[in-house]
């Protein structure tokens, strides 16, 4: 098991499924965890879950679409923990961020949906990386930044163009930051999941089985373990890379499978 003992980790979107499982795993491996989410209640639930298991965590409300909110939260984390070693940016979401029935082909998509998806997914990644990167540079001991991208950024997805564009932007952002921050000993990488399902999710089980070649569900814990590897010393010489975890979904070509 890769040791993250004593590493202070800020995780955005940590009240959600992937972010929450990542926060719990990091705490189990000895990290101090700053649990950040737009929902203060969701963040507190994960922090309480970690504390009940004997881990060290604090919750912070953070709206990643607001640079002022991101800066405030990162400053508070630095004040509480005194350092920042790892940033996992898991906050995001597709058109459902704008409410029900918001998925549409781009030629029919509404401005408010496009704005919301880009603001949360792309602007949020920029704001969080800027604030956390600056904190890591200032403390001068290196660090890790890991973005949650998506398999749809690689192959695209009809009816989800604004989301795939935003996540493609995140992957390009990651490459540029790897070049900018490498001299400071900070690695920057991305993890791109395919379809991720909850253990108790039944209605879409067939969809999960039909969207990968392993014919099994991908769970948030699978993604969390990859993020933990990318955050560990075992990955010290890896930067500027996107690691796809999709059971081979991005291997498919239309008409061939």
Catalytically active residues are 163
Residues 142, 130 contacting (CB under 8 angstroms): no
Residues 42, 15 contacting (CB under 8 angstroms): yes
Of residues 32, 40, 33, the one with CA closest to residue 15: 40
- Cβ-defined contacts of 162-168 (< 8 Å, 24+): 162/95, 162/106, 162/109, 162/113, 162/114, 162/117, 162/118, 163/94, 163/95, 163/117, 163/121, 165/118, 166/92, 166/117, 166/118, 166/121, 166/122, 167/92, 167/121, 167/192
Residues 73, 129 contacting (CB under 8 angstroms): no
Distance CA 173, CA 250 (A): 21
């Amino acid at each position: 098991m890769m040791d993250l003992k004593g590493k202070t980790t800020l995780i955005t979107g940590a009240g959600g499924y992937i972010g929450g499982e990542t926060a719990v795993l990091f705490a189990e491996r000895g990290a101090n965890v700053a649990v950040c989410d737009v929902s203060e209640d969701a963040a507190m639930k994960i922090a309480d879950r970690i504390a009940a298991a004997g881990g060290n965590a604090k919750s912070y409300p953070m709206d990643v679409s607001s640079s002022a909110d991101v800066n405030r939260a990162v400053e508070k984390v630095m004040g509480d923990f005194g350092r920042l070693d790892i940033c996992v940016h898991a906050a995001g979401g597709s058109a459902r961020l704008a409410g029900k029935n918001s998925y549409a082909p781009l030629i029919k998509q509404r401005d408010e949906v496009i704005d919301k998806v880009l603001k949360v997914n792309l602007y949020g990644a920029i704001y969080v990386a800027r604030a956390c990167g600056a904190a890591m540079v200032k403390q001068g001991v290196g660090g890790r930044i890991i973005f949650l991208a998506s398999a749809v950024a690689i192959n695209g997805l009809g009816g989800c163009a604004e989301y795939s564009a935003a996540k493609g932007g995140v992957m390009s952002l990651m490459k540029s930051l790897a070049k900018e921050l490498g001299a400071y000993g900070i690695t920057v990488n991305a993890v791109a999941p395919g379809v991720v399902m909850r253990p108790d999710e039944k209605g879409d089980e067939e969809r999960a089985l039909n969207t990968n070649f392993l014919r099994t569900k991908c769970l948030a814990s699978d993604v969390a373990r990859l993020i933990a590897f990318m955050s560990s010393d075992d990955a010290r010489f890896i930067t500027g890379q996107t690691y796809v975890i999709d059971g081979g979904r991005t291997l498919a070509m239309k008409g061939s499978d």
